Amino acid sequence: EADNPNVLTDVQELQAASGVNLVQDIGNTLGGELTVALDGPLVPVPSWKLAVEVYQPDRLEWSIEQLVAAYNRQPQKGVTVALNKSTANGLTYYQLLATGGSAPSNAEADYVFIDGYLLAAANRSLLDSAIQNRATGNSLARSQNFRNLLPQDANSNFSAIVYHNVSGLVGSLADGLQAVNAATPEQKAAINSLRANSAPGLIYAYGEPDKITISANGGLFGFNLDSLALPKVIESMTRHKPK
């Protein structure tokens, strides 16, 4: 909001132009499960994937289409968003593609509704791999690196988790930068330090009626929760919470 003081006005205008209520037509269609992953190269486009539980996929898709149409009707935007559809294997695939103006190249998002979820990814190939992995059971829950980091008390009913295993990504990025001599000595040292501290790690949180408990196994790129001072920050926020 600091970068755009008119953001609330813009949202209200977009709702009025599209006939979409963001709370009722989007928020109320979603469930409580959300997963975001970075699974592949970081450049030139980050290989992101997303899965969110959806109760009313038809209503959500209608809302997306109305918002895209309303956005494109706004004058002097420069950027145009195309919503393309295709079918394969009994599924309807959707592609959002931004072009023109300040839109970066490869400004794309692909998504599909399947088994009560909206699956989205940076491109169709990533989306197809996510669907295939789900069908074959090749999921994070079967990763031995992930399972080794789970708490020993077997309390896996997390409210939220953050798992990272970026050694391959960091290594390929570092090798690419060094191959073209695109990094300064200081940057190379930082990359090597990151590579040395890129072992798998798991941060997990439990939401309770009166508190949030956060724990970690494996650290976070050489840090841990104590060195990041997260407990102290949360304690301070709780202490100064308005009554």
Which one, of 39, 40, 11, 41, lies nearest residue 27 by Cα?
11
Q: How many CA atoms lie within 13 A of 13 on its CB side?
A: 9
Q: Is 78 left (phi over 0), alpha (psi -120 to 50) or beta?
A: left
**Predicted confidence (pLDDT) at residue 236 exceeds the cutoff of 60:** no
d(CA 79, CA 96): 12
Per-residue DSSP letter, 156: -
Residue 185 buriedness (CB in 10 A; 0-12 / 13-18 / 19+)? exposed
Domain residues of the chain, as ranges? 1-136
Residue 101 tokens read as 């103006």
The pLDDT > 70 percentage for the chain reads: 78
Tens-digit pLDDT profile for residues 58-116: 999 999 999 999 999 887 678 889 999 999 999 999 999 998 877 777 789 999 999 99
The β-bridge partners of 93 are: 86, 112
pLDDT at 171: 65
Locus of tokens 């088994």: 115
**53 bridge partner residues:** 117
Mean residue pLDDT across the chain: 81
pLDDT tens per residue across span 27-69: 999 999 999 988 877 777 888 999 999 999 999 999 999 999 9
pLDDT band at 180 (very low <50, low <70, confident <90, very high): low
129 CB-near residues (< 8 Å, 6+ apart): none
